[in-house]
Structure 1
Amino acid sequence: MSSTSKLDREQHDTAAAFKAARASVLLNAVLMTVQIVIGWMAFSDGLLADGIHTLADLGADGMVLIVLRLSTAAAHRRTGFEFDRSERYETAGSLLISILLIATGMETLWTSLSHMSDAGVAPSVHAPALVVAVFVIVAKEALFRYIMSVARRTRSTILVASAWHARSDAISACVAVLGIVGSMAGVPMSDSLAAALIGLMIARMGWTLAWKTFKESFARTAAGTTGR
């Protein structure tokens, strides 16, 4: 492959990565607003918890854009040190997203557990919360597939982390749906229980991502040491 065609490919991959990150920002901003507003109006702890998860996604999206900008600037410098720095930027960004997921999950778990004592006197969840939760499942799964396809094509670890963050929202929305249905069926505690489960799932996904990022970083460091 000529240097010109390689440069064109790199520029195309960079543009695709930024496009995916910006699409995630736009979708998460819309979903977060709808989830929190409808969750509050429809008395759904599960949907509110899922909205907080999407708010964490927005913070993660900001990190993704920053890391992409830094790693792109580093990669444009043609030294081995700068390429190594580019990988470090992506590793650091992935770890920050992991920490954000763990913190969000634990906060959501704590809040939902504190609400369980009031579940018996709380009003039942309203139907609009169910409609929003189902829509979130579809939207987040579509976003996961889109970002993951771009991540594989561009070989971006930070986009892989972002994609799994989107998938975690789709999964937590499924739990929110179960909680909402249970509350509408006359079991008020099910919605708070769903919120607690969502918190545990978010924290677990953050830990899994952190461990995976750490192992990949260690493997790259070991390979680089062996290659010297």
Structure 2
Amino acid sequence: MSSTSEHGREKHDAAFKAAQVSVLLNAVLMTMQIVIGWLAYSDGLLADGVHTLADLAADGMVLAVLRLSATAVRRSANDQYDRYETIGSLLISFLLIATGMETLWSSLGHAVNVASASSVHASALVVAVFVIVAKEALFRYIMAVAKRTRSTLLVASAWHARSDAISALIAAVGILGSMAGLAISDRLAAAVIGVMIARIGVNLGWKAVKDSFGRPASETAGQ
């Protein structure tokens, strides 16, 4: 087996393992966020749970792309692997944009009825803080693997995890405001999370498009 082929296989295996770890953690966190967010009357935590649900869908896309790219890796077809990564990054970006817009629309609709909002329970704050720590740890792990394997797909996945850590922080601030008597703060936090998710999606999509146009030119120059 050639060194190029061996490197491609190692890159694929490391990326696949990182994606599996992300799936398991996101499944646990999403369940906690949605269940506790609903029970604790926290729109911010619920919005963050929807973001994590989008993470799960994105992880599924990553795993599917890695499966498809396995054949390309075995054949040492690195250009095909790069194409699969670009497609996966674009799918993640589209998912982020759609999730962000839906979250923003829903939170603004709920803000109109803020007078009837129930006080957020402290349990929502505990979950939000736990998610911040867990998501930041996941970001650092996936980014380390991405740098080692030079995987643009994992870079997109890592920043998706970091976006959840930031959105969990925003949710925590909104929950604190609600617990202090400002009921609208939790719903405004959900709206901010929606905008942030959509913005990250746009940035990732633009980067993927630029990479896809830039790669053929560099490959041609190297021939």
State if a TM-score over 0.5 links the two structures.
yes
1:87 has 2:82 as partner? yes
Q: From the superposition, tell whether residues 34 and 117 of structure 1 become closer, same or farther in structure 2 (CA, over 3 Å).
A: same
1:30 has 2:28 as partner? yes
1:220 has 2:218 as partner? no
1:120 Cα deviation after fit? 1.8
1:190 has 2:185 as partner? yes
1:8 Cα deviation after fit? 4.4
Q: From the superposition, tell whether residues 128 and 202 of structure 1 become closer, same or farther in structure 2 (CA, over 3 Å).
A: same
1:9 Cα deviation after fit? 4.1
Residue 130 of structure 2, aligned match among 131, 135, 150: 135
TM-score by length of 1: 0.94
CA distance in 1, matches of 2:94, 2:119: 34
1:76 Cα deviation after fit? 1.1
CA distance in 2, matches of 1:103, 1:119: 25
The amino acid that maps onto 2:137 is A
RMSD, matched Cα:
1.4
Q: Tell which deviates more after alignment, 10-19 or 161-170.
A: 10-19
The amino acid that maps onto 2:165 is A
Offset from partner CA, 1:167-192 (integer Å, 9 cap, x none): 00000001000100000000000000
CA distance in 2, matches of 1:186, 1:28: 31
The amino acid that maps onto 1:30 is V
CA contact (8 A) 2:30 2:50 kept: yes
Unaligned runs of 5+ in 2: none
Residue 72 of structure 1, aligned match among 66, 70, 73: 70
CA distance in 2, matches of 1:83, 1:7: 9
**SS where residue 43 of structure 1 aligns?**
coil
The amino acid that maps onto 2:63 is L
CA distance in 1, matches of 2:95, 2:198: 9
Quote the residue 2:38 is aligned against.
40
Offset from partner CA, 1:108-136 (integer Å, 9 cap, x none): 00000000011122111000000000000
Quote the residue 1:101 is aligned against.
96
Percent identity between matched residues is 69
Count residues in correspondence.
Answer: 223
1:149 has 2:148 as partner? no
CA distance in 2, matches of 1:86, 1:58: 22
The amino acid that maps onto 1:212 is K
Unaligned runs of 5+ in 1: none
